[in-house]
Structure 1
Amino acid sequence: MLQRIQTVYLLIASIISGGLIFIFPIWKLNDGVEVFAISSTLFACLFFGSAIVSLIAIFMFKNRKLQFVLGRLAIILNFILLGFFVYQSLTVSGEAEASEKGIGMFLPIVSIVFLALANKAIKKDEDLVKSVDRLR
């Protein structure tokens, strides 16, 4: 059942976490150099981990409980990533190193929104199956 709406949401979250990190910078340094998430090993691993977990969750459509758990795991990875971004932006003092925050810092928030929508749709499907089983 790959034609469900949660597949679209999980695919969008995976594209955001795995593809848009090459397009949108996290921040810009004083000398005009844009820093992308791929330049930091920690950020890249967390982004790619979230993308891979989202892709794996797409193909777990026969096991909705595992799909739901994988969606939550991807949300947790994005919250950890967001925490690192907030810590990084707050520890850099003023104009010392990073002069401008990029839109790449908000990619985990967008990914979390789509993962939450996917989990809501998965939960809705699970409730529908349970209600049909009760009628038998």
Structure 2
Amino acid sequence: MIQRIQTIFLALVALIAGALPFIVHLWTDETGAEIFAKDSMGFSLAFYASALLALIAIFMFKNRQNQFVLNRLNMILNLFLLGFFVYRSLSLSGETSVSEKGIGMLIPVFSIVFLVLANRAIKKDEDLVKSVDRLR
């Protein structure tokens, strides 16, 4: 059942988390240098882990409960990323000129939205299977 709508949502998460942080900048520091995810090993690992969890969840379509749990773990990872970005943007260490926030800081938000939509579709499939089993 790889042709389900949750596969599209999870593929979007894998694409967003796996490629976009390395194309768009996360923020611009006080010197004007753009900071990408590839500049920090922690950010790179977190974004790659999110993309990998989404890809693994795509191929766990036979076990919907584990797919649901894996998506929840991915949401928690993206919430940590988002929390770190908010912390980093609010605690600029004594800069005289304000650094610019990039669109890359919103990548975890988009990932969380698509993961919620995927979980909603997985729940709908699970409810459909349970209702069919009840009729047998």
- Shorter-chain TM-score bucket reads over 0.9
Match in the other structure for 2:37: 37
Q: What is the TM-score with the length of structure 1 in the denominator? A: 0.95
- Distance between the aligned counterparts of 1:53 and 1:36, measured in 2? 21
Q: What is the percent sequence identity of the aligned residues? A: 62
Q: Tell whether the 8 Å contact from 1:27 to 1:98 is kept in structure 2 after alignment.
A: no
Aligned residues: 136
- Distance between the aligned counterparts of 2:77 and 2:96, measured in 1? 29
- Distance between the aligned counterparts of 2:135 and 2:95, measured in 1? 64
* Residue identity matched to 1:66: N
- Distance between the aligned counterparts of 2:70 and 2:96, measured in 1? 39
> Which residues in structure 2 correspond to 1:13-24 (within 5 Å)?
13-24=13-24
Q: CA deviation at 1:97?
A: 7.1
Give the secondary-structure state (helix, strand or coil) at the position aligned to 1:124. Answer: helix
Backbone CA RMSD of aligned residues: 1.3
Match in the other structure for 2:67: 67
Q: CA deviation at 1:18?
A: 0.5
Match in the other structure for 1:78: 78
Match in the other structure for 1:118: 118
Moved over 4 A (4+): none
- Distance between the aligned counterparts of 2:20 and 2:98, measured in 1? 21
Give the secondary-structure state (helix, strand or coil) at the position aligned to 1:19. Answer: helix
- Distance between the aligned counterparts of 2:77 and 2:57, measured in 1? 14
In the alignment, structure 2 segments of 5+ residues that lack a partner are none
- Distance between the aligned counterparts of 1:98 and 1:41, measured in 2? 24
In the alignment, structure 1 segments of 5+ residues that lack a partner are none
- Distance between the aligned counterparts of 1:7 and 1:82, measured in 2? 24
* Residue identity matched to 1:65: Q
Q: CA deviation at 1:31?
A: 2.2
* Residue identity matched to 1:32: G
- Distance between the aligned counterparts of 1:55 and 1:96, measured in 2? 42
Q: What is the TM-score with the length of structure 2 in the denominator? A: 0.95
